[in-house]
Amino acid sequence: MSDEQVIERYKKGGEWGLLVSVDCHDCDPAKIRSKEVISQFVIDLCEYIDMNRFGDPIVVRFGKDPRVQGYSLVQLIETSCISGHFAEDTDRAYIDVFSCKEFGPKKVAEFVAKYFGAKNYEYSISFRN
């Protein structure tokens, strides 16, 4: 579905919320290991898709097991939240944008992939009712 089709379905279908999950592979290792880059990313994303942030981003690095070690991100927005997990072991980024305000999922996926220098990515869309 194109972004226009997704937004049309969202508006006409009486959906409560829209979720896009973006999986980025082979990201720039320096970017996904930087608290500053991750924090600025979510600020820039919110501006790009016209979402109003509620408070500052929460970005914390943890994980005892190297397989799951890396930063996690939560940004509250007036219409729900944006979350992310950055797997240092595999140089992957997993970003979810959930909002009851419409937005373009492909636009988000392309922005995320470009921001973190992903060599490839995929995304899925869910309508929440």
Model confidence at 14: pLDDT above 90? no
The burial of 129, by beta-carbon neighbours within 10 Å (0-12 exposed, 13-18 middle, 19 or more buried), is given as: exposed
Predicted confidence (pLDDT) per residue in 98-121, tens digit: 999 999 999 999 999 999 999 999
Which helix (H) or strand (E) covers residue 68, if one does? Answer: none
CATH of residue 55: 3.60.90.10
Q: Which domain does 68 fall in, by range?
A: 3-128
Q: What gap in Å lies between CA 82 and CA 99, rounded to an integer?
A: 8
Predicted confidence (pLDDT) per residue in 50-90, tens digit: 999 999 999 999 988 888 899 999 999 999 999 999 999 99
Given this model, what pLDDT does residue 26 score? 99
Number of domains in the chain: 1
Show Cβ contacts of residue 100 under 8 Å, excluding neighbours closer than 6 positions: 16, 17, 18, 79, 80
Residue 123's beta-bridge partner residues? 22
